[in-house]
A and B are shown apart, each in its own frame.
Chain A
Amino acid sequence: MNDPFWLIAIKGVVVFVVLVLLVLFTIWYERRLVAVMQVRPGPNRNGPFGLLQSLADGLKLAFKEDILPRTADKWVFLAAPAIAVTCAFTAFAVIPFGPEVSVFGRTTALQMTDFEVSVLLILATSALGVYGIVLAGWSSGSTYALLGSLRAAAQVISYEIALGLAVLGVFFQSQLLSTGGIVDAQAEGIPMQLGGLEITLPGWYFLILAPSFVIFVIAMVGETNRAPFDLPEAESEIVAGFATEYSSLKYASFFLAEYVNMVTMSALCVTLFLGGWAAPFPDSWWPAANEGWLPLVWFFGKVLAFLSFYVWLRGTLPRFRYDQFMRLGWKVLVPVSLVWILVLAAMNIGLDTGNDLPTRIAFAGGAAIAVMALIFFWPTRKPYEPPEEPDAGLGGYPVPPLDLVVPPNPRGLTELEQRETAGAIEGGTDKGKEEE
């Protein structure tokens, strides 16, 4: 990328503005979508459809009193939100929004910057961004905040491994570490012969690398501290976790960082697995769909779909318990990704890299189906055997017998009878009316 300085500056400002606007929109969108799921209206007062609600909340937060706890470690306390926000914004610089377009007479890619190992930049900034959360909790000088930051540290270390291994699958497949290159590598479809019928599958990696994709999505939710993995700020357990002692703009910056991270991780997932800015249909349908400014629509559409997925998770799943969460990370995600990486490496060697994609898909699909079947039909439970003797309890404590038959309530019986007779009469009259 050889952009002049002014173009890089414009791109930087645009990325920043887009992110801030997206965050304002995402907060509103999340609240409205969760409201739909919970059958209530959601914010609908400020602006059309309540669109200005997050702006109003942000303004209100900015004018709140800025509190510095007496027990806080001052400089670390002030630096923590800055670290979180800076790292969150930096990561978005390498996400490709679209193909090459002409800006003021210069041809340039819709991407702030790209280099040989740009995916690693995102992983590195997300690793550094945790410092913001951990230091915030430690410097607050409060127990809840410290617990929150301890959880955050442990959580991110564990889920970063799974995330990295999932991304490794993409590196294996594309043999590239740059975001732009990975998007280009996914552009070509895979021709397949299915019973004489030639089908072109999209070359997106979520198909070829299905296990990596699933692991990445799970680890991504863990990495961004979102429900059901929002243990560092579990409000029902530790108040607001690491952010308990923060107020005003500092609190708002943690909020901002969290939502920017959500957007970044969604964008990274779209870039790595869902073809980036490519249109979600074959080229032959609409050849101009992947040129000019139009891919922005596909890209942000996919990111929005991912954000909806985040909201859906939040609206559906209860928060994990901490040990369950750690067990999922270390005993499921990491071993599964290690095995998958081994399988992928074996396939890459055995099939002479990239020549026989349909066979590879068959392999991957077969493996995925086998894993699914294993999960579904794994004999986890012994079949229920009724006890030979009724449980007499302990020490004469009155325990109802296991084979207890509850007799029907006599009042309920009479009510049932009455309803039946009334129904019979009504049914009879209805029939008579229909006949008329």
Chain B
Amino acid sequence: MIAELAQTASTGETVAFWILAPLAVGGAIGLVLARSAIHAALMLALTMVTLAVFYIMQSAPFLGFVQIMVYTGAIMMLFLFVLMLFGRDSRDSMFETLRGQRFLAALLGVGLAALLTSGLAHAVTGLTVAGDPAPGQGNVPAIAEELFTTYIFPFEVVSGVLTVAAVGALMFAHVSRRGEARSQKESSRERFAPGNYPGPKPGPGVFATSDSTATPALLPDGTTAAESLSEYVPPRQLTAVEAAPKPTEGREER
């Protein structure tokens, strides 16, 4: 049956399939093997785009482009956004905490593969080619009609679940403001209150030896300016070599 189906495919479709199929499978394998989370996400995006092209090839262009726009364009982009915030050097730890995890994972993986293969094989045998479900009507109206008549209830349920999930995520992420919002006048008064220095605080020290934000600025008498120290960045103690005055090239040290 499958062989018969393969016979009916046109040359262009066959060529496209043999170019895209390795890409899709390679993306899926790369997703598992990639050490960096971003690389894994990119591999997943590659697989998704390739699948979308498969949909388009199977004369479901609407589904294909929606797959690209929604999954690759929006959802994967959100994933990337979050992953990028973790920093580039964060990699998965390869240290195993569970005993015998590898063996169990391999066993279960083989089991899952066997299950999926048998299930798919069972589902695919005896397939008949349905052809265009609504000839002359087009892809979009056909999908719309099915979605908004036959499957209206599941559709609404799914949209309700998604809305609940979005609101729930908002509730989790929401942080109420600490204290009252200050008006411009209030903050200005606070700034000019007696005992407060109204000007900007001195920046970190930028010297020939260091331009780190952890380097304190030096006052004219050589002491460190306390205001230049950030409360979040621990100050760095200069080593004796770093602190010593450096000779300029081509000039005798005085």
Chain A interface residues (CB < 8 Å from chain B)? 71, 73, 76, 115-117, 120-121, 123-124, 127-128, 130-131, 134-135, 138, 141, 146, 149-150, 153-154, 156-157, 160, 164, 177, 393-397
Cβ contact within 8 Å between B68 and A394? no
Asked if B20 is at the interface of the complex by the 8 Å CB criterion, the answer is no
Tell which of B68, B78, B81, B193 touches A124, judged by Cβ atoms closer than 8 Å: B68
A146 and B78 in contact (CB under 8 A), knowing A127-B72, A177-B140? no
Cβ contact within 8 Å between A135 and B81? no
Tell which of A150, A393, A397 touches B84, judged by Cβ atoms closer than 8 Å: A150
A138 and B65 in contact (CB under 8 A), knowing A127-B74, A128-B72, A157-B78? no
13 A-B pairs (CB sep. < 8 Å): A116-B139, A117-B62, A120-B69, A123-B65, A124-B65, A127-B69, A128-B68, A130-B77, A131-B45, A141-B88, A394-B192, A395-B194, A397-B194
Asked if B111 is at the interface of the complex by the 8 Å CB criterion, the answer is no
- In angstroms, Cα B81 to Cα A121, docked, is 24
CB-CB < 8 A to B80: which residues of A? 131, 134, 138, 153
CB-CB < 8 A to B85: which residues of A? 150
Cβ contact within 8 Å between A160 and B73? yes
How many residues belonging to B are interface residues under a CB distance threshold of 8 Å? Answer: 29
CB-CB < 8 A to A127: which residues of B? 68-69, 72-74, 77
CB-CB < 8 A to B69: which residues of A? 120, 123-124, 127, 164
CB-CB < 8 A to B45: which residues of A? 131
CB-CB < 8 A to A393: which residues of B? 192
Return B43 CB to nearest CB of chain A, in Å.
12
Instruction: Tell me what chain B mostly uses at the interface: helix, strand, loop, or mixed.
Output: helix
- In angstroms, Cα B194 to Cα A397, docked, is 8
CB-CB < 8 A to B81: which residues of A? 134, 150, 153-154, 157
Cβ contact within 8 Å between B65 and A121? yes
CB-CB < 8 A to A76: which residues of B? 38-39, 42
A117 and B61 in contact (CB under 8 A), knowing A124-B69, A135-B42, A394-B192? yes
Asked if B217 is at the interface of the complex by the 8 Å CB criterion, the answer is no
Chain B interface residues (CB < 8 Å from chain A)? 36, 38-39, 42, 45, 49, 61-62, 65-66, 68-69, 72-74, 77-78, 80-81, 84-85, 88, 138-140, 189, 192-194
Interface centre among A76, A116, A127, A134 (most CB of B within 10 A): A127
Tell which of A116, A150, A160 touches B74, judged by Cβ atoms closer than 8 Å: A160
A115 and B61 in contact (CB under 8 A), knowing A124-B73, A146-B84? yes
**Closest residue of A by beta carbon distance from B70:** A127
Cβ contact within 8 Å between B42 and A120? no
CB-CB < 8 A to A395: which residues of B? 193-194
Return A120 CB to nearest CB of chain B, in Å.
4
A138 and B78 in contact (CB under 8 A), knowing A116-B62, A124-B68? no
**Extra contacts besides A120-B65, A134-B81, A153-B77 (18): CB < 8 Å:** A116-B140, A117-B62, A120-B61, A123-B65, A124-B69, A127-B73, A128-B68, A128-B72, A130-B73, A134-B80, A150-B81, A150-B84, A153-B80, A153-B84, A156-B77, A157-B74, A177-B140, A395-B193
CB-CB < 8 A to A134: which residues of B? 77, 80-81, 84
Return A345 CB to nearest CB of chain B, in Å.
12
Tell which of A131, A146, A177, A394 touches B189, judged by Cβ atoms closer than 8 Å: A394
**Closest residue of B by beta carbon distance from A72:** B88
Return A230 CB to nearest CB of chain B, in Å.
19
Return B166 CB to nearest CB of chain A, in Å.
13
- In angstroms, Cα B72 to Cα A127, docked, is 8
- In angstroms, Cα B62 to Cα A396, docked, is 71
Tell which of A130, A154, A157, A394 touches B193, judged by Cβ atoms closer than 8 Å: A394
Cβ contact within 8 Å between A128 and B42? no
CB-CB < 8 A to A135: which residues of B? 42
- In angstroms, Cα B188 to Cα A393, docked, is 11
**Closest residue of B by beta carbon distance from A156:** B77
- In angstroms, Cα B81 to Cα A264, docked, is 26
Cβ contact within 8 Å between A128 and B49? yes
CB-CB < 8 A to A164: which residues of B? 69
**Closest residue of B by beta carbon distance from A394:** B189
**Closest residue of A by beta carbon distance from B75:** A157
CB-CB < 8 A to A157: which residues of B? 74, 77-78, 81
- In angstroms, Cα B236 to Cα A123, docked, is 50
Return B42 CB to nearest CB of chain A, in Å.
7
- In angstroms, Cα B80 to Cα A150, docked, is 9
Return A331 CB to nearest CB of chain B, in Å.
15
- In angstroms, Cα B39 to Cα A116, docked, is 34
**Closest residue of B by beta carbon distance from A395:** B194
Pairs of residues from A and B, 4 with the lowest C-beta to C-beta distance, nearest first: A127-B73, A120-B65, A124-B68, A153-B81
- In angstroms, Cα B72 to Cα A124, docked, is 9
**Closest residue of A by beta carbon distance from B195:** A395
CB-CB < 8 A to B84: which residues of A? 134, 138, 146, 149-150, 153
Return B86 CB to nearest CB of chain A, in Å.
11
- In angstroms, Cα B72 to Cα A135, docked, is 14
- In angstroms, Cα B61 to Cα A146, docked, is 35
**Closest residue of B by beta carbon distance from A171:** B140
CB-CB < 8 A to A117: which residues of B? 61-62, 65, 139-140
- In angstroms, Cα B186 to Cα A394, docked, is 10
CB-CB < 8 A to B38: which residues of A? 73, 76, 138
